[in-house]
Structure formats: structure tokens, C-alpha cells
Structure 1
């Protein structure tokens, strides 16, 4: 039984569900399969890197939380971080991991329960981009293990999925259609999603902390 939960989903175009003609993406499908009294907010923005998401996360998340309530955050970033732009990656891998760590730090301070979904692959970006994204996903997974935060891997799982790759190449080379997003939703649902969303979350902040006013980074 799922009680009154507020969940913010934040990240890039994959979170936003770009390319899905049904306009549900993986977020909508996961919520549909979850049921219960869940109030959800999709805060995905196309081309956002972990740097962009860190900058706006707390500003956008806190007004959508319920004081003293069961507040959650799902964050998925990294596919844009590892893209080459002007001869280099958009965000250095160590900085990407540090950005996710800062988001998790904010969650702990604000008594918000986080879950991290790994970066999906960009099919037409080539093998080097896939390698960089997979390495970043591994580093994010290690960070989450150290913080006891659920992490759901998607990068290599989708890179080898014929439905995801076929739909992405039939579209803009990055974003799948409905069936591809269904595959991503299945990965999330088969991962730690159920245990995380049904686990009681105690809205107790660490001693000496308070939600405060979100500040621009």
C-alpha cells in the first residue's frame, strides 16, 4: 500500500520523454504501474547536464514538497554530460559525479528520499560516447552504493536492446518512441523502484539542519 507521496523526477530529455508520441515517456509508465496516492512532477529539460540540474534542482523541488510529508526525488543525468562539444566533453566525469553527490547532500539536508536512474545511451553518438557514459554510470553507481541510495542501471542494458536502438535510429538518433520508453520503464520497475517507493520514508532531518531557502548555485 502506497500512501501520500510526492515525487519529483528531474533530469534531461529522457526524463522529459522527448520522442514519445504518447507523451508519457518512462516516467509516466512507471507511475501508471505504481498506482497509489503519488503526486508526481516531471522536471526534465532537454539538453540539461548534471551541472544544469544541480543548479535548479533545489529551487524547483522544494516548492513542490509537502512540509513534514513523504517527499522523494528521482534524478537521471549524464547522457548530455558525456557528449563532445567544442572538442571536449560538456562536463568532466569527476564533476558530474560531484554534482550528483551535491544533489544527494541536499536531499539528506531536506529529508527527501532520493533514487538515481543511470544515463540512457545516445545511439547515434557512437561507441566512444557509449564508453564514456557507461564509465560515468559505473561511477554514479559506486557513489550511490556508498550513500545507500538506490541506483538503477540503464546504459548498457538499453545499448543492447533492439527496441530502444531501432526506435532511436528511426527518430532523431537519441530518443526512442513509445516502445523504447516502455523498455526503460521496465528496467526501472524491475530494479529497486518497488522497494524504494513502498518503503516508509521518515521525514526527519539531521540534527541542526533545516530546509531553509534554496539558493542559486
Structure 2
């Protein structure tokens, strides 16, 4: 299907960490590239900006959010932001968690506040599981907290961690690569989890009904 160039010009900024960047995927598409390709092949006039940075926590993303979003979310008709993070927040380095749950929630709140001030709707993607049972417990806890916070704030949230519990194919692929990232099939799995909510959110953006 051809892109409908008569439809609104939609610009989306994807903020996140190495999962947003697609690290580990030999095709270099990651879940972001797959979701964008699917949207465009179904007719959406959509430009996506991948702003994933390896090792970043949610507070790291919050600090660069406005400076990097402003030059990209302009000149089109409809704008939105996708934020995916959390794994690095739960990493323990030198005996300390890189970002406490309170730090992560405060950073997300600031992102949502800044986006609301700019009239950008936000879709939040939860963290995935990795090959570390102890860290996965922290990831699952954080994901639940983020989901509740998004519900309280009226932002759409895609729960990833809970969907991957007991998924042997996912865990085997992550373990076979570097213990933290999936390969092509794993990113394809993520894109399938994200796509229905992304499409619902995108449709709301175009209709002007998405939560801001």
C-alpha cells in the first residue's frame, strides 16, 4: 500500500535506550524500525526519529528530552513522543542502583509535563526482561509502577516485562547474544507487542483525541 500523502504529516520522536536503538539486531531495524515500516506500508504518512542512546536511564532521557524533541517535532501536522526505558534504571553499579524507582517516576512525570506543555501526546513502552533473574525482579517491579503511573496520568503504556515472563525463546535469544539484548526475532516479538497499542495511539493522534 502506498503512503497517503494527502493525510496529515505525522512526526514521531522515539526516545529511549539501546532497545529503542535496536542494539543486537543484525537487520538494524529493532522494534522501532519494524513499527515504522508497518505503519508506512499501511498508508500512514509518518516520519519517525530514533533517539535511542545506549546505557541511558529515564533521568538521562528526561534531561535531553526537550532539546532533542523541539527541532524534530515541527513543520508537520501532527506530533507525538514514544518513550521506552527502565532496564538501565534497574542496573546496579558500584553497589548502587543507577536510578531509584522514585528517580525514574520523577523523570517520567517531568517528560509527561514537558510534553503536555508542548501539546505532544506520549506513549510509554515498558522495560523488557534480560538474562539476569535478580535484575528481572527489579524490572518487573518497576514496570508495574510505571504502568500505574501512566494510568494515573492518562498516558498509554505498553507492558512488556509481564508478557515475556516464561518466554523461553526470548530468554534463550537474549542469553545467546550478550545477556541484555535480543536479535531479529526478539525485536520482531517486541514490535508485535507494541504495534496494537501504537496503532491505537497513532489513530488518536491523527483524530486529535490522543491524551496529552
Residue 141 (str. 1) matches residue 141 (str. 2): no
What is the TM-score with the length of structure 2 in the denominator? 0.90
User: How big is the shift at 1:122?
Assistant: 1.9
Corresponding position of 1:85: 93
Q: Give distance in 1, aligned partners of 2:183 and 2:77.
A: 35
SS at 1:97 equivalent: helix
Equivalent residue pairs, number: 201
Tell me the distance in 2 between the aligned counterparts of 1:75 and 1:55. 13
Q: Give me the whole-angstrom Cα distance separating, in 1, the residues matched to 2:127 and 2:144.
A: 10
Distance in 2 of aligned mates of 1:127 and 1:176: 16
Normalising by structure 1, report the TM-score.
0.88
Partner of 1:180: 186
Deviations 1:164-187 (A, max 9, x none): 212111111111110000000000
Q: Which residue of 1 aligns with 2:47?
A: 39
Aligned pairs for 1:60-99 within 5 A: 60-66=68-74, 69-99=77-107
User: Which residue matches 2:163?
Assistant: 157
Counterpart of 2:122 in 1: which secondary structure?
A: strand
Deviation at 1:4, TM superposition (A): 1.4
Measure, in 2, the Cα distance between the counterparts of 1:46 and 1:158. Answer: 22
Q: State which of 163, 169, 190 in structure 1 corresponds to 2:175.
A: 169
Match of 2:109 in 1: 101
Q: Which runs of 4+ in 1 moved over 4 A?
A: none
Q: Would you say the 8 A contact 2:82–2:123 is kept in 1?
A: yes
SS at match of 1:81: helix
SS at match of 2:61: helix
Q: Aligned residue for 2:128?
A: 120
C-alpha distance in 1 between matches for 2:29 and 2:156:
23
What whole-Å deviation, never above 9, does each CA across 1:86-139 have from its counterpart, x for those lacking one? 11210011110110111000010000110000011122xx22211111111111
SS at match of 1:119: coil
2:199 is matched with which residue: 194, 200, 203? 194
- 2:13 aligned residue: 8
Q: Shift of residue 40 of structure 1?
A: 0.5
Return 5+ residue gaps in structure 1 as ranges. Answer: 207-217
Whether the 8 Å CA contact 1:163–1:179 is kept in 2: the answer is no
